[in-house]
Structure 1
Amino acid sequence: MTGNEPDTDTDIGSDGGSGNDHGDEEDRNPVLLVRGDREFLVQPGEEMGTDLGVLEVPEDVEPGQTLETHLDEEFQVRRLRGPDLFHHFERTGAPMVPRDVGLVIGETGISRGDCVLDAGTGTGVLAASMARAGAEVVTYERDPEFADVARENMELGGIAEEVDVRTGDLREELEALEPSSFDVLTLDTGDAADVVAHAPDLLVEGGFVAVYSPFIESTREVVEAAREADLANVRTRETIQREMQFDDRGSRPSTAPVGHTGYLTIARNE
């Protein structure tokens, strides 16, 4: 795909579903190979070379197994979990952290059978996590190189069929999308307010909007746009968390810098 042309290989956004048959995919889910603090995300049937030797991953590999390299070094097989995507996807910027992904999914109730429209794909952690929750996702990324990396990440995460990564600006594609065909709209872009204004046309009745922003100014614009669009239950929360520290002296929040925080705005179409 080039320019702003959407991928037309799937039907998401025109009839609310992709019609993909995933019957064989459960047999090909990627797994983690773990040894101490080292982890490798691999596909069944793949050959992996490390400083500990070459390891042949069987096609029928199962979580809980122990695999050995040709140097008799052992790796434990672990099932891929959603938070692992954050650590193993190739990054094109700062991906949404697991706590924020959890808030988005928890606040909107994303689940199997939902169709999600997403913009600001980036690394693709949020899109992939929503797909692993059972949703079909259409996600827009304006940077062609970032979009290519996101597609590779979807392959790596075993959800390429569930996530349609489109290169382009969602604002320029709004008229081409089928009205009322999405259950959830998720946005992680500086111009999110422009898309929020169209949420009532894009979402089914009762559908949710979730917008993440690192800046208060753009968050305020989103809230104003949501109110002007007559969306209901508009609310914003700062997503900061503090890690606890336990040692011989006592217990308290960690004195390490808090680090990056953001603002999550949720609204509902009624």
Structure 2
Amino acid sequence: MIIVKIGGNILDNPARLQAFLIDFAQLAGPKLLVHGGGKIASATGQRLGITPKMVEGRRITDAETLELVTMVYGGLVNKQVVAKLQALGCNAIGLTGADANIIPARKRPVKTIDYGFAGDVDGPESINAKALEALLEAGLTPVFAPLTHDTQGSMLNTNADTIASVLATALATAFTVQLVYCFEKKGVLQNAGDDNAVIPHINQDKYKALKEEGVVNAGMVPKLDNAFAALQQGVAQVLICEAESLPRIHTGHYSGTTLSLN
């Protein structure tokens, strides 16, 4: 099966989102979509008088912000994506981690920074994979918002890349899983200023070297950390590419970065 994660750069662009969803709906076999929506949450919050609080690119989720992201991620963005997929003949079902207890998580402990109601997932063993498999076997396509729950009644804001990774590893025992991170670039770039300088393949050793050289930095580090964690726990393949490459993935003729352990 294929698990695809899309970010705000696609969600923010109606034409690009529609093109992506057409391609996603046409993918054969069981599939699952994980979406972000941070920019939409920030813009909606500004209209409501809620100023986003960010530290090192991560959102501080206080009680007011938790209400905002639950509304925007779990409601506005998730249901719009589900409705568009239904219009394309893809029988999607919108979910958060609280639904069917699929993704329980823990409120992130305070260290140097208090991230508020941010959720950390223990790992694939905590995922209710059986409930997810039942939905897939029923012919449904799960669409996950980046929200989990603490099992005590509170929602938690959780990184969408992490959600995609743990769902992929949890399903890897039942399926041969291909995990695809779609974002605004064609892949991992050797030179951030050159959109065509795609590194076609990265293994663990090369990843370590690229981090030391500073080629891979900032937001790309947690994305690749999640990707390698998925590979280490049974996911067959991880790809990082632009959304427009999705229809060509099965052919192998696409621009993107393939990640492997060796």
Normalising by structure 2, we get a TM-score of: 0.33
Could you say which structure has the greater relative contact order, defined with CA pairs below 8 angstroms and 6 or more residues apart?
Answer: 2
* Higher relative helix content: 2
Normalising by structure 1, we get a TM-score of: 0.33
* Higher relative strand content: 1
